[in-house]
Structure 1
Amino acid sequence: MAGTSCSSKMRPLTFTALFFALFTMGSSTAHVPLLLWSSERLPPLASPAAGHITSNDQLAAYLTSVFSSGSDTVLLFLQDKLSKEDFTVFGGVFGNKQDSAFHNLEAALQSSSSSVTLSALEWLGSSAILALLQEKLGVSPLLVDPETLSHLSIDASVNNLLLISLPYCNSLHKSCKEVLHGNDEVIGKVLSTVKAKNVPYIAIYTGLQPSRVISDMSESNQPAGRSLLQAVVSDVPPPIMFSVSGNPCIMLWAKNLNVSVSGTSSWTDLGTQTPTMTGSQCNVSNSVLVLNYASGFTLSFFMSQQFYPGSARNWFTLDLVQLQSGGQTASFIGSRGIYAPVEYSFHCQSVSSFQEPLLVQNATSTSQNTSQWMLNFVDFQIQGFNLKNGTNFSYASDCSGFFTAGIWMGLVTTFIMLLILVYGLHMITHLTTMDRFDDPKGPMISVPQMD
């Protein structure tokens, strides 16, 4: 396979050589780099050909030989964006190792039993690499962070796909190098935790999309004429899970976690960012999930459970949702229907603080500056207690009742039509014939005629 390199034991200058190889790599096709290393020996790989872009089919063929044991633990470090320029600009390649943002990554590559470098992997979409790994391993990804992983029990006898999502710099960050350095620290902590557990692993570091999209795409590469629409696999993020002593106790998933601090004119989707869960806690009666985002937002979910004699069972409720930003806090009370039996999870297609809100802003604890803050969670599901399955939600109690608006309209229309039918049948069954007629044998009326 071209566009790759493999070594059984990387020498100290290998990572620097990788930077120069990435720097000299050029193509008009969008691609991302991929680094793969393992605590055990990887299958050999052919030497690269200059300028070649590795296709996903070539990567899939190689991964088939890598994941052949049936008991592989894969650590997927998936960064929001990544390009070869990130290594050449922030890698400190000109002998200045103190200036590098990838200290832990360099050390991992140099100390690994073997490693593989794909300097340019064909980019087909943000879900391509994750979908490929799911297909090869036959398991769903589990989103973890260093804090969660330290308490998680890993069964090395089966396939495991642990997803560590890493952010990328944006307009809110002062320095891309600081963000990449923070990601490198996360990589170092995760690898240290896995090594401490004595679990053999295969690590992959790549990006969801290129950080620098090539603009001068060749027109000859564009398809001519008509083409059929292709089914695109949606990029479905794994649920957020908080564990205590290796036991999962809170899970949350949403297609979108939209927040706004300036009315409906500006929305921020926190679901596309990777949070830390510092401050989260759970016990038998109360659970708190705290999501801290690098963009400056903190989203907190407060849940409780108690026994209700009327139903003779325990129910859990989402009592409060707090949004913090810029040192200010807005509180939203779950006053309408955010509850479920304690053995179930809660699901709702839309949980918002406006337009039939399930979350009502607490006016007593809201300042004038936060009165316009709003929340809008799409396809929202949460469970704060009795997570027996570990990686999956329990049966969902949906916020939509059985008698929806459409069902009510159908029932009312049917009832009106039934009334008309019954009235018509009633009129038909009560039709009677006349029992008296005029006597045709009676005297005829004569009318005299005048000449």
Structure 2
Amino acid sequence: MAGPNCLQLSALIAFFLVFSASGSVTTQVPFLMWSSGGFPALKPPAAGHVTSNGELSAYLSTVFGSGPHTVLLFLQDKLSKDDFTVFGGAYGDKQDSAFKNLEDALQSSSSSVVLPALEWVDVATIPALLQEKLNVSPLLVDPDSLSDLTIDTSVSNLLLINLPYCSGLRKSCREILLENDEIMEKVSSSVKTRDVPFTAIYTGLQPSRVISETSVPKQQVGRSLLQAVDPVVKAPIMFNSSAGPCIMLWAQNLNVSLSPSAGWVNLAAETPSMTGSMCNSSNSLLVLSYASGYTLSFAMSQRFYSVSARNWFTLDSVQLQANGLTESFVGRRNISAPAEYSFHCQSVNTFREGLLVPRDSNQNSSQWRLNFVDFQIQGFGLANGTNFSYASDCAGFFTAGIWMGLLTSLLMLLIFVYGLHMIMQLNTMDRFDDPKGPSISVPQSE
């Protein structure tokens, strides 16, 4: 659907309602795109039509076919067309809509496209497709620090802004969607005030409401080869200062627990705010505040060591705040790497002889635990501004398993050498008892 005259709220909601009534049977997410410049028009899809990834890929090839582009990807945790029908306002009333800023952006933009039903395959479909078309990796940015980010318009930029959904949060769905709508307006305005032409995309990481299949699925009979599925790789968390990106963090899981009976909470699944973060030539502080009430702070510093004649950076402490309490954890042994490197460790935890120990345990937080899985952080000297540098791993070359193997092999070698030495020391007897000759007599004394 193209053109500002076709994007009145009543028409938009009606189109979603008609599409919902058509009996769609495939898993799908909405896809909305608008631009401050312009792109080729797209014929409105017929009611009941599910846009395939191939169709979207072909259209995006015409949109991003030549020249650099700056794309703002607003990727919500979950989104379905039912969210527009439920929270979009009744009968075109913008004041009652949770998407009023989005509707204004669609109407005021020179070009826009609305696909009510885009075929959904997995959570990495849209980021991977845009990465392929723009030939650039997505950069996860924080809306609060976007004004400090320098955008180079001579190259393509893919800025990823994660938006939460109402599942598992203390606020209502309407409040969450209203806040997301304000974030999209804030980010778009920030880029527009710097006269940077951009294309904005709003879609879901996965459907919020999965529609069941009504037809009998085609099942493959007989043997088939297993298909390898690439794992979904999340974009790293990056803090941008006035001079550009300066802190980067990535982890598969950021697990925290306030007590053994409370279980683990994976903060890596949430989108944090980085308010309070800072960095300079000698110190860096990354503050991750989550809507669930947890705050993680990573304090790093770098200094020159004359022995190695180079600068090293150290993760000095990890601080956890929850329920009005604070606990700081320091390294049991130095968590460090050369200043131009990043630090990586498969497991950074506070138990089982982990790398972190409480600095000053108090009665209320003595049972707090941290467990970071596949953890990587860099606070200085980011390579190319947006990529991790070479990783210095926490696991040394001679691990416990290697030492056990070497010692066992050495012990077996010593046993073999000792046995061989004993065999070589055996001598034959000087005399033997010959049964055909005279017997050997042994005189006995009385």
**Above 0.5 in TM-score?**
yes
Which residue identity is paired with 2:79?
Answer: L
**Which of the numbers 185, 189, 198 marks the counterpart of 1:188?**
185
Q: Please say if 1:113 is aligned against 2:110.
A: yes
The residue that corresponds to 2:257 in the other structure is 260
Q: Indicate the residue corresponding to 1:24 in structure 2.
A: 18
Amino acid at match of 1:25: F
Structure 2 distance, partners of 1:163, 1:443, is 105
How far apart, CA to CA, are the structure 2 residues paired with 1:410 and 1:335?
26
Secondary structure (helix, strand or coil) at the match of 1:11 reads: helix
Residues 177-234 of structure 1: per-residue CA shift (max 9 Å, x gap): 11111111111111112112222211110000111122x4225135354554332232
Select 2:285's aligned residue among 284, 288, 309. Answer: 288
Q: Does 1:402 align with 2:397?
A: yes
The corresponding residue for 2:219 is 223
**CA–CA distance in 1 between the matches of 2:434 and 2:168?**
104
| CA positional deviation for 1:264 | 5.6
Query: Aligned Cα RMSD in Å?
Result: 2.3
In 2, Cα distance between the equivalents of 1:442 and 1:76? 106
Q: How far apart are the structure 2 equivalents of 1:251 and 1:282?
A: 11
Worse-superposed segment, 284-293 or 15-24: 15-24
Residue 429 of structure 1, CA deviation: 3.8
Give the match for residue 6 of structure 1.
Answer: 2
2:8–2:92 Cα contact (<8 Å) kept: no
1:163 is matched with: 160
Helix, strand or coil for the counterpart of 1:20?
helix
Report the secondary structure of 2:332's partner residue. Answer: coil
Q: Deviations over 1:140-195 (max 9, x none)?
A: 11001223321222222222211111111123322111111111111111111211
Question: What are the superposed Cα offsets for residues 14-49 of structure 1, whole Å, 9 maximum, x if unpaired?
Answer: 343112111221312221100011122211222321
Aligned residues of 1:127 and 1:233 also touching (Cα < 8 A): no
Aligned pairs for 1:68-217 (under 5 A) are 68-214=65-211, 216-217=212-213
Query: Counterpart in 2 of 1:250?
Result: 247
The 1-side partners of 2:173 and 2:435 are apart by: 112
User: Is the aligned partner of 1:274 residue 2:271?
Assistant: yes
Amino acid at match of 1:289: L
2:444 equivalent to 1:425: no
CA contact (8 A) 1:145 1:190 kept: no
Shift of 1:315: 2.1
Q: Per-residue deviation at 1:392?
A: 0.9
| 1:382 equivalent in structure 2 | 377
TM-score normalised according to structure 1 size:
0.90
Shift of 1:337: 3.5
Q: Describe the shift of the 1:441–1:120 C-alpha distance in structure 2 as closer, same or farther (beyond 3 A).
A: closer
Do the aligned residues in 1 keep the contact of 2:142 with 2:239 (CA within 8 Å)?
no
Bigger Cα displacement from structure 2, 332-341 vs 401-410: 332-341
Name the TM-score, length of structure 2 as normaliser: 0.91
For residues 175 and 445 of structure 1, the distance between their equivalents in structure 2, rounded to whole angstroms, comes to 109
One-letter amino acid of the structure 1 residue matched with residue 152 of structure 2: D
Ranges in structure 2 where 5+ consecutive residues have no aligned partner: 442-446
Map residues 29-44 of structure 1 onto 2, 5 A cutoff: 29-44=26-41
Give the CA deviation at 1:68: 0.4
Comparing 333-342 and 45-54, the one that deviates more: 333-342
The percent identity for this pair of structures is 66
Aligned CA distance change for structure 1 residues 344 and 150 (closer, same or farther; 3 Å): same
Unpaired runs of at least 5, structure 1: 447-451
Secondary structure at 1:94's aligned position in 2?
Answer: helix
Q: Contact conserved, 2:25 with 2:214, CA < 8 A, in 1?
A: yes
Tell me what 1:330 maps to.
Answer: 327
Asked if 2 retains the 8 angstrom alpha-carbon contact of 1:84 and 1:119, the reply is yes
Distance 1:261 1:163 in 2: 31
Task: Tell me what 2:444 maps to.
Answer: none
Secondary structure of the structure 1 residue equivalent to 2:5? coil
| SS of match in other structure, 1:294 | coil
What is the Cα deviation at residue 13 of structure 1? 5.1
Letter matched to residue 81 of structure 2: K
Quote the offset at 1:66 in angstroms: 1.2
Contact 1:15 1:109 in 2 (8 A): no
Distance 1:264 1:241 in 2: 33
